[in-house]
Structure 1
Amino acid sequence: MFSHKVRLICLIILLSGCSKQLDIKPEVFISPEQLYKDEAGVVAGVTGIYRQLLILKRSDYAIIGMVGTDEGKTTIFVPTWGPYWQGFSAVNSYSPLMTGQNDVVQGFWSVSYKGITNANLAIKYIAKAPVNEALKNRCIGEAKFLRALFYFYLVQLFDGVPLPTDADNPDADRDGYPRSKAEDVYKLIIEDLQFAAVNLNSKGADGQDPGRATKEAAIALLGKVYLTRKDYANAKATLAPLLTATNVSLMSKYADLYVEANENNIESLFEVQFSNETDNTSNMANNTGCWQINSPGLSGAGGHVIIPTDYYYQSFADDDLRKDATFRTVFYDSNGNLVDYSWWADVGKPHVKKFDITKGISVSGSLSSRNMYYLRYADVILMYAEATNELNEGAAAVENLNKVRHRAGLADWSGSIAQADLRSEIMMERMRELGFEGWRWFDLKRTGTLLDSTKAHNMDAAPNMLPKHLLYPIPAKEFENNPALKPADQNEGY
């Protein structure tokens, strides 16, 4: 739920010297005036915004973007676990429970707006804080990057949404915020990311904490926004400098991307930081059936909540080096004994192992310290290939597509390829390269293929999916709490 009662409190989240990530501590509530009074408060206040992204990605809301696509699905068992799980499964199947009352939809909306509210507070009070201009602009840049990230999720999922950009506004507290046009939401997103790209530290800069937004992350996200808007010229121009940057590159081995010791690596542009501290863990290992077992060196059990579609698994050639790094087809019981689950419906199907946990680091599959990628360099390369292909620059598109294929051990594409064929191949390559990293739903929607491809390759969604499912329903609680919204503001069909 997005509450319009902006409270004069803010999260204090302190930093430690941890080299792995931002160290998110328990919440303490004080007024913004008390918090943003010095350099330590400014930095801590901005760090608090990151916590909302952690909450968004540590929980069941992380399935948004993965399931309900041609890439991922919930298992057949999920709807049998009770009412909550039936709603959870509806995000994949688009069943009649995909409504404004759906808990996953409402939770995603609520957490996103809490992040936006915290960002608005930070932007307002940092501007008045007695700190040097460089720190002030960097921290405002982080707040604007995160505000843009949350709004980008919301506008893609819901189209136009309420657009608060202020804080401590008594009029809005009373009257609420009306639904804005999508164009206005995108305008703010672009402005925020342009500011961030100028004012954030570069990746690897002295004193740059792993986990904080960087200039390169802002540029990559801005390029993705332009691509989503089909502004291919600006997407190309925005992303181009990253292709020649010296502080980012592809990891030499794809499998190394999913080793916990390699988090915040040269390819990572921005990732969500998890740890073993209380309330800072992720449940994605459990959701994907990668929970830890007792025997060291073994990769886990089968089962559980979300799995690849057959189409996603079968899209990989046998000699694609990403296939073994992405999927687990061999399973063990809790004692480390090999188990044949081939007879057992979804349990025996290939599972994603990108979130496998490392024994001795994560507590368990539901209490995992594994980070989660939001943006990485391979995504930039493929976005650039897509933009150049849409600009009829096929040679440049193929050149960049081949960079990703080369690491995967695949033969280069050569010769002239028709634009439509290359468009399809780039989308397939995005699925193979970025699968279960949260982008598939948005990629399919951006390219106008969400309905057709999901209905063709996700049998749970096929009977139910309608044109209205190109958008999510605005949560029912938002209508209860926002006086500026009227029933007619609900997305069509809901």
Structure 2
Amino acid sequence: MKKLLYILSASILLGLSSCDEDFMDTKSPDQLTGDSFWRNVSDAEAGLAAAYSQMECATSYWGFAEIKFPVEMYPSDLVRIGGDAYNYEDWLSIYNFNVNSANTQTTSYWNIHYKGINFANQVIEKVGEMTEEQIDQAKKNEIIAEAHFLRGYYHLKLLLAWEKIIVRDAYPKGLSDIDKALSERTECWDFIVADFAKAAATLPGSYDSANVGRVTKWAAYAYLGKANLYRAGEESANSGEYYNAAKTAFAEVVNSNNFSLVDNFISMFDGTNQNSSEAVLELQLSNNTDNGAWFKFPHHRWIKPKGLYGWDEIAGSAFLLEEFKKEGKVATDGRYDHRLYGTLFFDDDYFNDSDNPRVYGYTFREWWDASSTAYDYTGFRKYLPSTREELDAYSHGNNMPLMRYADVLLMYAETLNELNETAAAIPHINNVRAMHGGLPAMTGTDKAAVTAQIEHERICEFAMEGSRFHDLRRWGKLNETMAAHGRSGVTDASHFFPIPESEANSNNNID
């Protein structure tokens, strides 16, 4: 997708939404409008690039980290807030589960995702109106399918954060179109599932090297499965229907034989193995700044520990470290779960080997504080670049995995287990454990044991990837688990963010 992202800044498309209300009588004959822009395949690709551009809030230099990470990472028992984060009231309110409707981070998150939806709707409608003389039919169908995926993706991200959202199935053409009521969750799930299904039915399974990173049919199936699995956790009366739909979607990905787990866990996050055999969908960033391009951010500075001159915004919780260690040093090389070493820096012989100092040329104790005897700090390693030079740079453009094959396998295993196909679920769990953790096969063979194992694997596999809070909520374990791990303040009322004040003020159909 990097090639597409160079084509058009998303800001251009903002000005292309036509409006029924005429504010000016005179129009420039050479200025592009929403009606005149969509002329050929290049315009269609440019419009699609704008729809991609809002993914993961990677829309501004500072905002990428300071919107995405507080909103998605702070509501979790796997993290603790860093010292500098106490300087930001709106970040702190997310961490403490007392967000109000004026919170700047959640408001920005809402607005960015709806901007992406708006761009996707423009592509669906305007490319859909293009003639065969303007664009080849197969290419037209492919671009529209990508836009359906992106529209579903943005709606899904919103629905995981808010109890009710506005289903936007068309871009506003006038001020009156802005007013639209919130939809019930069942309607939202139906809409999201339909968009992913449309995408999966049309998208190709792969692209050439110039278009790596674009959404494939396998990504669409993976998210179709995820949507149905998460929905099943909310709607118990119809859970069997959704579990079966999830099983069918995940099986498409697994049986495609297009993906395999990588054996070096950290390589998927430090820039050394981008778009790997495990990448189902990956946010495409770049360190290349040719011709003024800029798709790199200082998010590593937000994540990296203060001992490495980071901003000290987030660290791993004591519970996360305990969960990683609870099986003991049972890996094939006598260490803990290998994912631990790829996720956290912590006080361990692995990081304190003076002959092989693995903390960017230091041992853990040298890096942390040579005069200290308290080495209980657990800083995140995941997403930090591989070299000291990149670490010290003000920004970097290493890709960020969004959907990994490991997630597909663990969600597939969960789905099979819920459908009482427990024996079929266990090999997928063991595959992830062996390849990423260097671990022996799980013990236990009944449904309850597999359920518990899946929770453990999801903690170790996806720490700092934003799934924990949603997992606990869909499993019905959120309040009790967070309280047990020292995160007080979680009540049923704080499971979702409040509708932003700016939305309520501008939309007459929201109270």
Normalised by the length of structure 1, the TM-score is 0.84
Could you list the runs of 5+ residues in structure 2 that have no partner in the other structure?
16-31, 233-241, 330-335, 352-356
Cross-structure match for 1:194: 197
Could you list the runs of 5+ residues in structure 1 that have no partner in the other structure?
1-13, 292-298, 487-494
Alpha-carbon separation, structure 2, partners of 1:60 and 1:351: 18
Cross-structure match for 1:152: 156
Cross-structure match for 2:345: 328
Alpha-carbon separation, structure 2, partners of 1:24 and 1:304: 36
Alpha-carbon separation, structure 1, partners of 2:2 and 2:321: 40
In the TM superposition, residue 340 of structure 1 has moved relative to its aligned partner by 3.3
Alpha-carbon separation, structure 2, partners of 1:33 and 1:149: 26
Please say if residues 196 and 218 of structure 1, whose CA atoms lie closer than 8 Å, have aligned partners that are also in contact: yes
Change (3 A) 1:240 1:334: closer
Alpha-carbon separation, structure 2, partners of 1:167 and 1:452: 41
In the TM superposition, residue 469 of structure 1 has moved relative to its aligned partner by 1.1
Cross-structure match for 2:493: 468
Deviations 1:419-466 (A, max 9, x none): 233212201101101111122222122211222222222x3x31x222
Please say if residues 290 and 302 of structure 1, whose CA atoms lie closer than 8 Å, have aligned partners that are also in contact: yes
Report the residue type matching 2:205 in the other structure.
S
Cross-structure match for 1:4: none
Change (3 A) 1:334 1:447: closer
Match of 2:263 among 252, 265, 268: 252
Alpha-carbon separation, structure 1, partners of 2:55 and 2:373: 34
Match of 1:166 among 170, 175, 180: 170
Cross-structure match for 1:9: none
Cross-structure match for 1:75: 82
Match of 1:284 among 276, 294, 299: 299
In the TM superposition, residue 237 of structure 1 has moved relative to its aligned partner by 1.3
Deviations 1:235-274 (A, max 9, x none): 1111012222222111122232223131111101111122
Please say if residues 8 and 49 of structure 2, whose CA atoms lie closer than 8 Å, have aligned partners that are also in contact: no
- Range with bigger deviation, 51-60 or 382-391: 51-60
Cross-structure match for 1:114: 115
Please say if residues 54 and 273 of structure 1, whose CA atoms lie closer than 8 Å, have aligned partners that are also in contact: no
Match of 2:143 among 139, 145, 148: 139
In the TM superposition, residue 131 of structure 1 has moved relative to its aligned partner by 0.9
Alpha-carbon separation, structure 2, partners of 1:429 and 1:15: 32
Match of 1:388 among 408, 416, 421: 416
Cross-structure match for 2:471: 443
SS of corresponding position for 2:402: strand
User: Which structure has the bigger radius of gyration?
Assistant: 2
Aligned sequence identity (%) = 25
Please say if residues 444 and 450 of structure 2, whose CA atoms lie closer than 8 Å, have aligned partners that are also in contact: no
Cross-structure match for 1:492: none
Change (3 A) 1:428 1:22: farther
Cross-structure match for 2:272: 261
Please say if residues 101 and 498 of structure 2, whose CA atoms lie closer than 8 Å, have aligned partners that are also in contact: yes
Deviations 1:151-171 (A, max 9, x none): 001112112211121124336
Match of 2:453 among 412, 425, 450: 425
CA RMSD, aligned part only?
2.8
Cross-structure match for 1:65: 72
- Range with bigger deviation, 23-32 or 129-138: 23-32
Alpha-carbon separation, structure 1, partners of 2:264 and 2:362: 27
SS of corresponding position for 1:375: strand
Cross-structure match for 1:314: 322
Report the residue type matching 1:288 in the other structure.
I
Alpha-carbon separation, structure 2, partners of 1:241 and 1:321: 29
Change (3 A) 1:347 1:33: farther
SS of corresponding position for 1:316: helix
Alpha-carbon separation, structure 2, partners of 1:70 and 1:303: 21
Please say if residues 341 and 348 of structure 1, whose CA atoms lie closer than 8 Å, have aligned partners that are also in contact: no
SS of corresponding position for 2:473: helix
Alpha-carbon separation, structure 2, partners of 1:262 and 1:177: 44
Deviations 1:112-151 (A, max 9, x none): 1000111111111010122111111111111111111110
SS of corresponding position for 2:257: coil
Give the alignment of 1:369-408 within 5 angstroms.
369-407=397-435, 408=437
SS of corresponding position for 1:61: helix
Alpha-carbon separation, structure 1, partners of 2:2 and 2:295: 14
In the TM superposition, residue 86 of structure 1 has moved relative to its aligned partner by 1.6
Cross-structure match for 1:10: none
SS of corresponding position for 2:80: strand
Change (3 A) 1:361 1:180: farther
Structure 1 runs of 4+ aligned residues shifted over 6 Å read: 331-337, 342-347
Alpha-carbon separation, structure 2, partners of 1:413 and 1:147: 38
Match of 1:91 among 90, 94, 108: 94
Deviations 1:311-349 (A, max 9, x none): 112211342111111111369999979333498899961
Match of 2:224 among 201, 222, 225: 222
